[in-house]
Structures are given as C-alpha cells and as structure tokens.
Amino acid sequence: MCGIVAYIGPKDATPFLLEGLARLEYRGYDSAGVAVTGRTGGLKVRKVKGRVADLAAAVPARFKGGTGIGHTRWATHGVPSDANAHPHLDGAERIAVVHNGIIENADELRAKLTADGVVFRSETDTEVLSHLIAAHVGEGVELEDAVRAALGRVVGTYGIAVLDAEQPDRIVAARNGSPIVLGLGEKEMFVASDVSALVRYTRQVVHLEDGELATVRADGFRTFTTDARTTHHQPSTVDWEIDSYDTGGYEHFLLKEIHEQPGSVERTLSGRLDERFSTAHLGGLNLDARELREIRRVKILGCGSAYYAGEMGAQLIEELSRIPAHSEPASEFRYRNPVIEADTLYIAVSQSGETYDTLAAVQEIKRKGGRVLGVVNTVGSAIARECDGGMYLHAGPEISVASTKAFTSTVVAFALLALHFGRIHDLSPADGRRIVAALKALPDQIREVLAQTEAIAELAAEYAGSAGMMFIGRVRGYPVAREGAQKLKEISYVHAEAYPASELKHGPLALISPELPTVALVPDDELLDKNLTTLGEIKARSGRVIAIAHRRPEDKLADHCVLVPKSEPELDPLLLNIPLQLLAYHAAVALDRDVDKPRNLAKSVTVE
C-alpha cells in the first residue's frame, strides 16, 4: 500500500526521504516521488513510475532542501505513471501533497475546480487536495488552516503530508483512516505512514488519531483537531530491533521471518506462563476473572491470514474453555449490521493494527456498546488504540507481505488466552499443565521443522509447476489447510483450494486427478483413521498426495510425507502449518516470483 515519509530539520531531506521510501518498499507500490524545498524557495520535485531505485537514479545531486516529503504509490485512481505518482502540486507549484487513502468525492471536487479554471495534471483523487489547499494559502491563510479547510470539503480516508514552498519552516500532516506517525529527533522531525521508515533515526514516536492534524517544525510539533482544538500526546518508544529491517543474510525477508519463528514464539510466550497455577498471566486484557466468567460467546474478527489464525484461535478457545467461539472475516462482518451482544467478547486480530476493514469492525462494535480485545503485533497501531485491552504479539516487525511469524504468534497468543479462559472455567490443573508444557516446547519443535527446509524445498520445486493444488484438513486441520492454500496462492500465484477433508466426497473429489496434487494434514489424533480413509479415496483416483503428518502413512496412501513433531492435539495445527509456509516459499522461489512483494498485494490494507 502507499507509503509516506517527510523530513524537516537542519540536514538535507533527500537522503532520508529516499532511504525511508526504500524501507517502505515492502508494502508494495508501483511508483515513487519526492519534493523538497529550502531557503532558496520553490519546490524541487521528482517522480517516476517504478522502483525507489529508479527514483534515486532520477534525483540529481543538486536536489537538496531542509524540508521534504516523499511517497510510494499503489495505484487506485489512474494507472501507474510518472504523472500519477505523488507528490501532487497545484498550478503555481507552491503546494505539494502526498496522500494515502481514497477521496470518495474526488470526481465532484474535480468538476467544481475545473469549472473554476483549474487544470489537472493527473488522474488521481489526491490532486484535488493540492488545488484546494493552494486556493486557501493563496488568500494568505496559514498552511495548517488551509489544510484544515481543504479537508473539511473532502469525504474519504487519508493520511497526508503537505509542503508549502513559501512556508518551508513546517510540514502539515493529517490522518483519517490511514496511519501517520511523527518521529521526534534532535532539532529535526520525521513523518511517516509506518515506523519502519523512521527507526534508524529515532525511536520516539507519536501516532496521530483519526481526525487529527499536526504542524511539524524542526524543533517540535503541535497537534489539533479538524475544528482547531489543540490535542496532547505523550511520545511512545518503539522497541523493535533495527536489524529486523534487514534480510540478515537470508535471500528474502519471508525466509528470514519463517526462520525467526522459534524466537518470535518465545517472545509471545515470554512472562506469560504461570506454572504455579498452570495458566497464562495476561496483564493487558483489562478483564478480571468475574467479568470473564460472564462471557457466553467469543467472536474473532480479522482479514486474510489474521482471520484464519482467528479460526485456529476459536477452536482453541472452544476446546480449552468450552466457551462457544467463532471467527469471521472483519471485511464481511462490518457490512452486515451485526448483532452485538453484551455477553459476547469480541477479539480483533491484526499484524499491522492498521487494516481498515478490521478497524471499521472494531469501531462498529464499540459504537454499539460491545467490548473488544485486540490481538495485534504493532504497538500503538490504530486497532490496538481502539480496543479496550488485549495482547501484543511481540513477534517483531513483519516486512514480507505474506504473514508467517505474526500468524504463528497470533495462534500462540490465542492458546494463551484459551488457557487463561479455560482455567477460569473448567479446565483442570492437569490439563493446564499439559498445555503449559506443550507451549514451552514449541520453539524447539519449530526448529525441528525448520531443519527440514531442504527436503521441503525439493518437494516444492517438484510440485511448483502444477496447475493447482488441493489442501485438506479435518476440524483442527481445516484452518491449517486454508492458511496453507492462501500462502501458496499469494506468493507463487499457483491456484490452491482448501477443503475440509470430510467434505471432499461431497463434491470436490471430482477434481482429483494426477494434475491436481493434494497437501493433506494428517495429525496423529482421534481423526487419524478418517484422514487415512480420505487419502485412500484420493489415491484411488490417481491423485498425488503430500502428507504433513506425525507418522508416515503407508506408501500406498501418500507419495511424500513431511514429518512434524507431535504437540498436544490442541496445539498441533500450529506446527503442521510451518511446513506449508516453507512449501509456499520454495514454490514461489522455484517459479521466480517476487517473494516479498507479490503482485497485486500490499502489506497493510488501509483502504476499504
């Protein structure tokens, strides 16, 4: 998704802008641009279709200025092109705007401005903002007031940074539905849409709230609302390691993040296991035992992989606490006028904490008086701030578009929640001990799976050319199959279907042939015999089978098998998923895909 960076201070802005944009590359984009201004006045602007490296090559050595803004664009209004790349200027080339989000009434505003004689140079919705702001500053209005006035005419979502060549002592930023974070330096200030662009320069940050603006100067900032009321913020400290933003010797961020999982799971568990009472200690829920006992249902909301992690979470909660639990895509929930119940606990799941559909679902629940917890990776993100309490994953920044370590940590977080709920209800101390011990064993067990990378890479290379793949699992295995299929299709573009193994004979068995291999989750649990019968049905139709299993099935039932260490049945899905991440990664590599930035996808979907 689009990225924003901005700098104001004593140094030249350009190196920071280019580096910051490169740090945001992982979000996915199709064009990039920068604008700077300085003491000599006037704007210097460069924008190109393509990569940040192409932009850097197009920026001449004399492109200098102490105040600047930059952008990576992911096309929504108008094709990827130099003209449609941000920043967008007004006719007099005084105002420059970078914008994330969508201005819904752009056509209407464009028509009015055109009738007034404004000439547009791009097809974007953003350009209306530059002209609207310019009209106000042209009348002698301060930049912040001009931005406020312009935003008052806009319907839609935005994160913006605005530069005025005639007021180079400030940048004005604003947020409504699309993140903006201010970075506080020593006599210099930064602005970005994502902390990853800032962490090399400062760890002190302020997240703007929806409906808030900021005037940012080299020596500080002031925040206020769209109706000019001053607001106050305490800066927070980003605790993510800087080396998380490098590939650290791995070929891709995705492979690095898959291999980081033993450590990220340890961090999710750290300080949260209570061995004395065989439960989990979760400080941030803001719910005491009595309130938790009153909960009759749990509803989990997330999008994409976060939704599938929620499905695993719902099973864990039901199994360990016997509270009915269900996961639903937040993107669907928010549009169906959901019934909000006082005795239901809602849980929003998000790695980025900025997914607009999930945020909108949280806001809808809260508006109706519901209670929402967040299971979120990014500290201080919009969803985390909106929730009544919750758990941070502490998985560290996830750079690759495809989610892996955050997915696994989300499931671990749900296991902790389920254990906590369970021990408040009827989960016995013995069962609590069983789960605590299994959670502690996970990091080493993940290491065991990762040690099989080479064998899985060979399998992936053998099957990457398939026209499609079927993923099947029963009950606990079904969300694993869904996540496995999602990972394969999103990074390798190989078609993948996920089905409950039990449903195969009710239709999709018709698809089975040597051309459509099946990845089958075959845990050694109470459903093993059923799963083996399904494998027999596939083999009887000459289907090829890759089994992800605890015990190798007979040769006649599976062509290949990846063995995974056994956990407790409730936690097995978590380990069964790891080989599927490696399978998807190596299939994508075999097909020479852009693994960390798959086509048509962005890391954080901050639009509707």
Which member of 299, 489, 597, 603 is catalytic? 603
- Residue pointed to by tokens 């920044």: 397
By C-beta, is 135 or 584 nearer to ligand F6R?
A: 584
| 480 near ligand F6R, rule: CB under 6 A | no
Among 35, 372, 605, 607, binds ligand F6R (CB under 6 A): 605
| 351 near ligand F6R, rule: CB under 6 A | yes
| 264 near ligand F6R, rule: CB under 6 A | no
Amino acid 74 reads: W
Q: How far is CA 244 from CA 22, 253, 258, 382, 523, in A?
A: 15, 9, 13, 22, 33
Q: How far apart are the first and last CA of the chain?
A: 12
Least CB distance to ligand F6R at residue 409 (A): 11
Q: Among this protein's residues, is 405 annotated catalytic? A: no
Among 103, 303, 382, 512, binds ligand F6R (CB under 6 A): 303
Least CB distance to ligand F6R at residue 192 (A): 17
Least CB distance to ligand F6R at residue 100 (A): 15
Residues numbered 113 to 172 that lie near ligand F6R (CB under 6 A) are none
Q: Among this protein's residues, is 2 annotated catalytic? A: yes
Q: Which span sits near ligand F6R by CB under 6 A: 128-136, 198-206, 350-358, 492-500? A: 350-358
Strand ranges across the sheet with 495-500: 495-500, 468-473, 518-522, 545-549, 560-563
By C-beta, is 17 or 460 nearer to ligand F6R?
A: 460
Which member of 2, 303, 387, 561 is catalytic? 2
Separation between Cα atoms, residue 147 and residue 138, nearest integer Å: 12
By C-beta, is 133 or 480 nearer to ligand F6R?
A: 480
Residues numbered 388 to 407 that lie near ligand F6R (CB under 6 A) are 401-403
Separation between Cα atoms, residue 481 and residue 463, nearest integer Å: 17
Amino acid 400 reads: S
By C-beta, is 31 or 604 nearer to ligand F6R?
A: 604
Q: Which span sits near ligand F6R by CB under 6 A: 32-40, 154-162, 349-357, 532-540? A: 349-357
By C-beta, is 196 or 604 nearer to ligand F6R?
A: 604
By C-beta, is 147 or 300 nearer to ligand F6R?
A: 300
**φ/ψ (deg, to 5) at 479:** -60, -30
Q: Are 327 and 310 in contact (CB under 8 A)?
A: yes
Least CB distance to ligand F6R at residue 570 (A): 23
By C-beta, is 301 or 547 nearer to ligand F6R?
A: 301
Residue 493, Ramachandran bin (φ over 0: left; ψ between -120 and 50: alpha; else beta): left
Which one, of 105, 85, 87, lies nearest residue 96 by Cα?
87
**Letter string b/e over residues 51-67, b meaning 16 or more CB atoms within 10 A of that residue's CB:** bbeebbebbeeebbbbb
| 492 near ligand F6R, rule: CB under 6 A | no
By C-beta, is 309 or 436 nearer to ligand F6R?
A: 309
Least CB distance to ligand F6R at residue 513 (A): 28
Separation between Cα atoms, residue 398 and residue 239, nearest integer Å: 14
**φ/ψ (deg, to 5) at 38:** -150, -160
| 577 near ligand F6R, rule: CB under 6 A | no
Q: Are 174 and 160 in contact (CB under 8 A)?
A: yes
By C-beta, is 495 or 566 nearer to ligand F6R?
A: 495
Least CB distance to ligand F6R at residue 473 (A): 18
Instruction: Read off the tokens for 391.
Output: 């758990």
Residue whose CB is nearest to ligand F6R in the complex, by number: 304
By C-beta, is 401 or 578 nearer to ligand F6R?
A: 401
Least CB distance to ligand F6R at residue 308 (A): 8
Q: Which span sits near ligand F6R by CB under 6 A: 65-73, 75-83, 346-354, 422-430? A: 346-354
Reduced to 3 states (helix: H, G, I; strand: E, B; else coil), residue 147 is: helix
Helix 127-137, helix 106-115: angle, nearest 10: 50
Interface size with ligand F6R, residues (CB under 6 A): 15
Write the secondary structure of 44-89 as one string of H (helix), E (strand) and C (coil): EEEEEECCHHHHHHHCCCCCCCCEEEEEEECCCCCCCCCCCCCCEE
By C-beta, is 212 or 490 nearer to ligand F6R?
A: 490
Amino acid 473 reads: G
Per-residue x/- track, 29-58, ligand F6R (CB under 6 A): ------------------------------
Reduced to 3 states (helix: H, G, I; strand: E, B; else coil), residue 131 is: helix
| 196 near ligand F6R, rule: CB under 6 A | no
| 358 near ligand F6R, rule: CB under 6 A | yes
Which one, of 523, 578, 517, 524, lies nearest residue 545 by Cα?
517
By C-beta, is 106 or 359 nearer to ligand F6R?
A: 359
Q: Are 257 and 251 in contact (CB under 8 A)?
A: no
Least CB distance to ligand F6R at residue 383 (A): 8
| 490 near ligand F6R, rule: CB under 6 A | yes
Which one, of 556, 515, 562, lies nearest residue 539 by Cα?
556
Return the biggest CA–CA distance within the chain. 81
Residues 6+ apart with CB under 8 A from 173: 6, 159, 160, 161, 162, 180, 182, 191, 208, 213, 214, 216
Angle at the Cα of 103 from the Cα atoms of 49 and 105, rounded to 5 degrees: 130
Least CB distance to ligand F6R at residue 310 (A): 10
| 268 near ligand F6R, rule: CB under 6 A | no
Least CB distance to ligand F6R at residue 380 (A): 14
Amino acid 488 reads: L
What is the Cα 556 distance to its own chain's centre?
41
Residues numbered 218 to 237 that lie near ligand F6R (CB under 6 A) are none
Amino acid 417 reads: L
Per-residue x/- track, 401-440, ligand F6R (CB under 6 A): xxx-------------------------------------
Among 350, 408, 518, 606, binds ligand F6R (CB under 6 A): 350
| 361 near ligand F6R, rule: CB under 6 A | no
Separation between Cα atoms, residue 256 and residue 399, nearest integer Å: 10
What is the Cα 537 distance to its own chain's centre?
38
Separation between Cα atoms, residue 293 and residue 286, nearest integer Å: 14
Amino acid 504 reads: L
Among 304, 390, 553, 579, binds ligand F6R (CB under 6 A): 304
User: Which residues are tagged catalytic?
Assistant: 2, 603
Which residues sit at the interface with ligand F6R, rule CB under 6 A?
A: 303-306, 350-352, 355, 358, 401-403, 490, 604-605
